[in-house]
Amino acid sequence: MSEALVTDEIQTLFNALPDVVFFVKDREGRYTHCNLTLIRRIGRKRIGDVVGRSAEDLFPAPLGTRYLQQDRRVLRGEVLENQLEVHLYPNRLPGWCLTFKRPILAGGSVVGVLGISRDLGQPDKRHSSFAQLEQVVSHMYDHYAEAIRVAEMARIAGISVAQLERLFHRVFQLTPQQFLTKIRIESAMRQLRSSATIASIGQACGFCDQSAFSRQFRAVVGVTPRDYRTLRLRSPSNQSD
């Protein structure tokens, strides 16, 4: 069975998963395969509207440029595992996901990018450890503007750091640090709708300085806080998310 046929079959398989974006890109960062979830989220109707184009062609600037830069890192051999991101699709409200990207190798050379982005689901409230972690989560929400260390979270829960990491992943699909980052970035996204300065927003969300805030925000959202503010002001749906 040829590699192309196998990839086609994988694409068909991922078409059945509405909460997962699947894609394959060539060495130039252009889509060669993708599932229906991606097609619909970017407001296209057919796979032919996506194949042969790069993220820069399909997403508004500067988002498309940022995604293409990420692809180029993978094309240089970097592997992205379990990366927490906010995806901003042209026709969809912002959504949190976990992204995985890895280089495709052929004959010892990188020839493309294989990746998925899985929507971050709701926490498993039925898990036996959910109640044990509620106090830690409440502490995060109450003190996210401060420096919170994982050891402190573990002490609040009355367990070891290793146990805390394991339970957080089971219940929330995230590490404690990723969960804290999510809280801070969500707060920053809300506050960027105001007229407050970017520096003051970063400080209010627990970042040590504006540079650290901008770097973390760009890593998670794909654009700088300043660019995000511009995108939200231009968006017709900026009052509904």
- CATH class belonging to 122-241: mainly alpha
| Cβ–Cβ under 8 Å, residues 64 and 54 | yes
Q: Residue ranges of the domains in the chain?
A: 3-119, 122-241
The pLDDT of residue 132 is 86
Nearest C-alpha neighbor of 178 from the set 96, 70, 102, 100: 96
How confident is the model at residue 241, as a pLDDT? 38
**CB-based contacts of 188-197 (< 8 A; 24+ apart in sequence):** 188/213, 188/217, 188/225, 189/86, 189/94, 189/221, 189/228, 189/232, 192/225, 192/228, 192/229, 192/232, 193/229, 193/232, 193/238
**Interatomic CA distance for residues 183 and 44, integer angstroms:** 31
Classify domain 3-119 at the CATH superfamily level: PAS domain (3.30.450.20)
Tell me what pLDDT residue 77 has. 97
**Mean pLDDT by groups of 10 residues along the chain of 241 residues:** 73 93 97 95 94 93 89 96 89 86 95 96 87 94 96 95 95 95 97 95 95 96 93 53 38
Q: From residue 44, give the alpha-carbon distance in Å to each of 36, 39, 120, 165.
A: 9, 5, 23, 39
Q: Would you say 105 and 111 are in contact if contact means Cβ atoms under 8 Å apart? A: yes
- The helices-and-strands tally (H runs, E runs) of the chain is 11, 5
Whole-angstrom Cα distance, residue 5 to residue 229?
43
Does 122-241 match 3-119 at the fold level? no
Residue holding tokens 């970042």? 207
pLDDT for 231: 81
Angle between helices 161-172 and 130-143 (to 10 degrees): 100
